[in-house]
Amino acid sequence: MQTDYQYVLAQRDGGVLTLTMNRPEKLNAFNDVMLQELTEAAEEAAENEAIRCVVLTGAGRAFGAGQDLSAFAAREETQEPIKVSDHLEKYHRLIRALSGMPKPVIAALHGVATGISLNIAFSCDLRIAADNVRISEAFARIGLVPDGGGAYYLQRLIGFGKALELMLLAEEINGQEAERLGLVNKCVPLADFEATTYALAQRLAQGPTKAYGMIKELMYTSLSSDLQTSLKLEGELQDIAIASDDHRENVKAFLQKRAPRYTGK
């Protein structure tokens, strides 16, 4: 596993891989190198069977402040027509790597979570917030539309009306409000943030990883499919799950009245 990135810290502890965006002096705003490194690290984590849960977080006092706006200024200085959609393709690769990861991904949000950094967190499976987090869909404030999958995920997480409000007004909400809306799964005091995130990651890393991957596949496919498609897929995936080592182990453990030991297979 590669660990010598310039702007991403990749730390393994057992089955948990923590990927930390690491430009703290810029509140972890995305530059091209950090985006490329994070994408490569996520794609590598997807392939590595020893990694059974991934945590995405930010170094210093923020999760992330969105796209590095100095790159926007640099674009302004060139006379070339700006076509940002090509650049967005690079973010889309990261989004696909996170949502398609065949194991759970937790986003751990603290300090600032805004712009495309926030929307990247929506393509993770679970979100834990520290109670100091300031969350905003900042795009409208700078005259842009939400990107990074935000329009897709946010309305599915919290409903159309509130998602549209957050995107139009671009106001900050705090962690408690984000939890109330369902935008994050849990908001905890900053002092407990790391420990809570880590305990959840370790719990997931010791779980039935293969089933988790298929639960993700079923849920993400069902987000945008009809009932027939969803029912067909659940049957196909259950055929695989029922033959998995972890399912067999669970049945055996139940009959032997002991806790199951999942291998993730």
Q: Which residues bind ligand T3D (CB under 6 A)?
A: 26-27, 29, 65-70, 84, 87-88, 112, 114-116, 138-139, 142, 144, 147
Question: What are the residues whose beta carbons fall under 8 Å from the beta carbon of 107, sequence distance 6 or more?
Answer: 55, 56, 57, 63, 120, 121, 124, 126, 127, 128
At its nearest, how many Å lie between ligand T3D and the CB of residue 100? 20
SS3 call for 187: strand
At its nearest, how many Å lie between ligand T3D and the CB of residue 41? 19
At its nearest, how many Å lie between ligand T3D and the CB of residue 66? 3
84 vs 240 by CB, closer to ligand T3D: 84
User: In whole angstroms, how far apart are CA 141 and each of 148, 239, 252?
Assistant: 16, 49, 56
At its nearest, how many Å lie between ligand T3D and the CB of residue 156? 20
Residue 106, strand partner residues = 55, 126
47 vs 171 by CB, closer to ligand T3D: 171
85 vs 256 by CB, closer to ligand T3D: 85
At its nearest, how many Å lie between ligand T3D and the CB of residue 151? 13
138 vs 201 by CB, closer to ligand T3D: 138
Rounded-to-integer distance, Cα 170 and Cα 162, Å = 12
Rounded-to-integer distance, Cα 87 and Cα 90, Å = 6
| Nearest position to ligand T3D, beta carbon | 115
User: In whole angstroms, how far apart are CA 20 and each of 17, 58, 241?
Assistant: 10, 5, 32
Name the helix (H) or strand (E) containing 100. Answer: none
164 vs 253 by CB, closer to ligand T3D: 164
